Amino acid sequence: MRTIKGPAIFLAQFIGDKAPFDSLDGICAWAKGLGYKGIQLPTNDTRFIDLQKAAESKTYADELKGRVGAHGLEITELSTHLQGQLVAVHPAYDSFFDGFAPAAVRGNPKARTAWAVQQLTYAAKASKNLGLQAHVTFSGSFLWPMVYPWPQRPAGLVEDGFRELGKRWLPILQIFEIQEIDLCYELHPGEDLHDGVTFERFLKEVHDHPRANILYDPSHFVLQCLDYLSFIDIYHERIRMFHVKDAEFNPTGRQGVYGGYSGWIDRAGRFRSLGDGQVDFKSIFSKMAQYDFPGWAVLEWECCLKHPEDGAREGAQFIKEHIIHVTDKAFDDFAASGVDAAANRRVLGI
């Protein structure tokens, strides 16, 4: 067993236009001051990382790593959530997701997809240059508008959707294989990969590719009423990243999983700061230790009530207190009788 690394923090929800959140050095100093040991870095803001440059220049990657290291931090992983979303977009969402892409490819789905694939290619190479082991993204979606089977889906629609999803991602997975980086999909509502069943459908289409892995985030499973502890038992061999994010689900006589189109504060299922929701993190961290999870415990802050800076400050201590320093010996070693092969054979009568 190994001890989980952390605490680390995903910066996406904290980057802004005011200091210390408007520069890499500023946000690193802030995170270190809260007790974090690592940062998970989104790649869509060039103030923090030039993704193409990190892919093409080992010197730049080393300098970036050095800047973060000067603050006593590590880069844990890179993120291409927004770019990955654009690998597969149903036409119903074209105008919504165009904002994730540069102006030059907006309104042109083929060009937008090509841009997204190039971004993932850069991410694989940049991760290698930075000495990282894993990368996180979204899968995108062809089928989310049909997530509820009414009207009845045409025969073969789901199969066709996953076939095309696999066709688009398999070459990207091959690039990550060449760079020896695990590509971790955050299983998330709105994505075709949002639970275990959909992940298994995808694995079938990419021929059980060894680089197709999972970022585990229990908050998304609370909102789906999915057994997030059993999920670890089933998929632990594919779990290579971990977002520590809390949530709660409080159904009423008026609303449940679908939320009645309400805003986050009024939904039955909503995200909360660490410790304010319903996720059983003691059991999660125990299972991660049991299954020898190789990565970082990374805070992702999303809460409809609490201020993000309070959530970040409390989250660092919360994660620190939940990380299990794994034992290097059995608790009953004191009673061991030693090794005696001959005696063992006598006991067994052989």
Cis peptide, bond prior to residue 210, ω within 30 of zero: no
Give the model's pLDDT for residue 329.
Answer: 83
Give the model's pLDDT for residue 330.
Answer: 80
pLDDT band at 46 (very low <50, low <70, confident <90, very high): very high
pLDDT in tens, 166-217: 999 999 999 999 999 999 999 999 999 999 999 999 999 999 999 999 999 9
Cis peptide, bond prior to residue 20, ω within 30 of zero: yes
Give the model's pLDDT for residue 328.
Answer: 86
Q: How many CA atoms within 13 Å lie on the side-chain side of 147? A: 17
Give the model's pLDDT for residue 311.
Answer: 98
pLDDT band at 104 (very low <50, low <70, confident <90, very high): very high
SS3 state of residue 90: coil
CA distance 130 to 57: 10
Residue 233 reports pLDDT greater than 90: yes
SS3 state of residue 272: strand
Instruction: Give the chain's count of helices (H) and strands (E).
Output: 13, 10
Give the mean model confidence (pLDDT) for residues 319-335: 87
CA distance 81 to 79: 6
Q: Which residues pair with 298 in a beta bridge?
A: 8, 243
Give the model's pLDDT for residue 245.
Answer: 98
CA distance 27 to 20: 5
CA distance 336 to 60: 54
Residue 334 reports pLDDT greater than 80: no
Give the mean model confidence (pLDDT) for residues 69-93: 98
Give the mean model confidence (pLDDT) for residues 77-101: 97
Residue 38 reports pLDDT greater than 90: yes
Phi and psi torsions of 303, nearest 5°? -150, 135
Domain 5-348 architecture = Alpha-Beta Barrel (3.20)
- As a whole-number percent, the residues of the chain with pLDDT over 70 amount to 99
* Mean per-residue pLDDT over the chain, rounded: 97
CA distance 5 to 134: 14
Q: Would you say the pTM of this structure is higher than 0.85?
A: yes
pLDDT in tens, 234-285: 999 999 999 999 999 999 999 999 999 999 999 999 999 999 999 999 999 9
Q: Which residues pair with 40 in a beta bridge?
A: 10, 77
pLDDT band at 154 (very low <50, low <70, confident <90, very high): very high
The region, left, alpha or beta by phi > 0 then psi within -120 to 50, assigned to residue 171 is alpha
Give the mean model confidence (pLDDT) for residues 111-138: 98
Give the mean model confidence (pLDDT) for residues 53-62: 98
